[in-house]
């Protein structure tokens, strides 16, 4: 698990979901994001944007870079029709990935059935797309609740478990990641298939390193690639380029 900082930076870049989810994002924001993805050290795994901007991202993304868009974001309510509208827009745009917020308040308040129903409906509506379920671990807080959320997401067909929206005070933490990865590793149907995404507050390469170690420990070295590991961030790319010796980062699409 010992890696140099440049080795960590290269791996983080390959697994990066370069993200912009500001309320005032426009086509121009997406154009900047796409330009940033065509960097000197290689491309990220994906761009992550609002559903209304997914078609623009698909049209402008560098070759080989996937497009993800968010659904039921950021609040994670229980309105299935709203989540399905988001999902339909994402699918129609040709985006390959759906980052869906679990109804975490419903789960926390004891209504796991409502949370499961929304996940189930969206999973059916995006067959063929990669479904990344956001647990909002910083709000669930308790390991037992995070574990319950992870199990529920796996049961409803998640392809990835994602920590956070990046819109709450506490984003990704190694403690939450450890709990989520343990659930994936313990599930015989998930441990060789389902991935993990750390999002919220990861701005520097050194902050990404503990998540690489956790993924390798729970899922094995074969999971250290974009098929099984992602980082959701906007500022991280600038630090990756700095570590790899590139020029100062250019204009960004905003904060995540």
Residues that are catalytic? 99, 162, 197
CA gap 212, 210 in Å, rounded? 5
Gap between the Cα atoms of 27 and 46, Å rounded: 17
Contact 129, 97 (CB under 8 A): yes
Which two tokens mark 112? Answer: 């796991």
Sequence-distant contacts of 33-37: CB under 8 A, at least 24 apart = 33/57, 33/253, 34/60, 34/61, 34/62, 35/250, 36/237, 36/249, 36/250, 36/252, 36/253, 37/61, 37/62, 37/65
What is 96-111 written as a DSSP string? Answer: SEEEEE--HHHHHTT-
Are 235 and 15 within 8 A, CB to CB?
no
Q: Measured at the alpha carbon of residue 6, what is the angle toward residues 38 and 170, in degrees to the nearest 5?
A: 80
Three-state SS at 1: coil
CA distance 75 to 77: 6
Q: Are 240 and 5 in contact (CB under 8 A)?
A: no
């Amino acid at each position: 698990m010992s890696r140099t900082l440049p080795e960590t930076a290269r791996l983080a870049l390959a697994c990066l979901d370069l993200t912009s989810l500001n309320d005032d994002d426009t086509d121009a924001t997406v154009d900047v994001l796409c330009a940033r993805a065509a960097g000197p050290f290689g491309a990220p795994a994906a761009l992550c944007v609002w559903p209304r901007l997914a078609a623009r991202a698909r049209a402008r993304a560098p070759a080989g870079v996937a497009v993800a868009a968010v659904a039921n974001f950021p609040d994670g309510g229980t309105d299935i029709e709203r989540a399905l509208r988001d999902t339909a827009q994402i699918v129609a745009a040709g985006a390959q990935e759906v980052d869906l917020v679990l109804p975490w308040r419903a789960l926390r308040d004891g209504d796991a059935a409502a949370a499961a129903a929304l996940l189930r409906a969206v999973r059916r509506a995006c067959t063929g797309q990669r479904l990344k379920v956001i647990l909002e671990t910083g709000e669930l807080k308790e390991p037992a609740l995070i574990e319950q959320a992870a199990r529920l997401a796996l049961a409803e067909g998640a392809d990835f478990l994602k920590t956070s929206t990046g819109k709450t005070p506490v984003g990704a933490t190694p403690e939450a990641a450890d709990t989520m990865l343990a659930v994936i590793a313990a599930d015989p149907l998930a441990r060789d298939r389902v991935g993990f995404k750390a999002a919220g507050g990861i701005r520097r390469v050194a902050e990404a390193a503990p998540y690489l170690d956790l993924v390798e420990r729970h899922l094995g070295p074969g999971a250290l690639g974009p098929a099984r590991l992602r980082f959701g961030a906007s500022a991280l790319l600038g630090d990756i380029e700095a570590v790899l010796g590139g020029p100062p980062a250019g204009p960004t699409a905003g904060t995540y």
